[in-house]
Structure 1
Amino acid sequence: MDKKTIREQYLLKRRLLTTEEINAQSEIISKRLLDFLSIRPEIRHIHIFLPIKRFNEVNTFPLFERLQGSGYHLYTSEVNKLEDTLDTFEISEVKEFKLNSWGIPFPIGAVKVEPDKIQLVLIPLLAFDKKGYRIGYGKGYYDKFLSKIADSVWKVGLTFFPPENILPAESHDIGLNYCITPEKIHVFE
């Protein structure tokens, strides 16, 4: 199967989820991540994606609030349309959000920073495989972003669905270290 077909299948699977299912499964995923972090106290700088509601992504807002309340340094990104890349913003103190032109929540008052302090990146995805390769929306923003940060930064996918056996991967695709689903934490190190 090609990437386009896989994207379509997983977008449909997500559309079929109810709000209740999304929130319940997001809570389980968040709990797994918090447990993961509890045994890794050295991780204090986390890049979190903010969910695109129309795509039924994992709801990371409750997780954001818990991490913020626990004193983590939090970051997110926004597409820089001129450079076709992601800009990084610190959001540790942010309390309000507005939707940007893509329908992605953007933190009001966030400060643009370099991503050099980030230790762990939470990554939205449509599908992933048993080797840790993922398929996103096809724009390549996260692959470009991940290629510019340190190799030591942990790449953690969040998704509602289990892995495929194998997905098409290209030389520029950057794999995950972990992927958290409602069922388990998948490890690829």
Structure 2
Amino acid sequence: MRALLFYSKKEFKRMILAIDVYYLDDKAKTVGILFEQFTDSIKEIKSVITDYQSNVAPYQSGQFYQRELPCILALLSQVDLNTIDAIIVDGYVHLNDGKLGLGGHLYQALDKKIPIIGVAKKSFADNSQYVIEVTRGQSNKPLYVTSLGTALTKAAQDIKSMAGKHRMPDLLTYLDQQTKLFKFE
């Protein structure tokens, strides 16, 4: 399914794109949601984009980006990147010792033109200088936010401001649910 956005010059809007990938064996479903502001609700999603890939590389410890990055790039081929202000990925931009995570490799693949924000649910050892822990709602468990192309403090503030009463912002929960529908397709 291709989602093309058409706007007159008067109504042209910059978008934020959140992306997630779900795997079944060697197949992947990648979903992206486009929205205008970090504070948008699920009802304000402008478009949902989906891509399917076969023969996806197997998971390799410490090299996760090699599996996920091709799936994300395939989805991005459906988007006018000139309309994107930021991309949110499920995972890290930086790992430890400055090593790039999935988001960092995506930032490089996009020629450092679009800010990338990584949102992870689990901590990664020895990368505290690259992470801001964001607690939301009533949860005592933080989200781990990393970024490239935008200040880390701004990225953390943007994630904290996202709609929803729980640890995970509503838009990112919705995105995760959309990818997992792959099990039933």
TM-score normalised per structure 1: 0.35
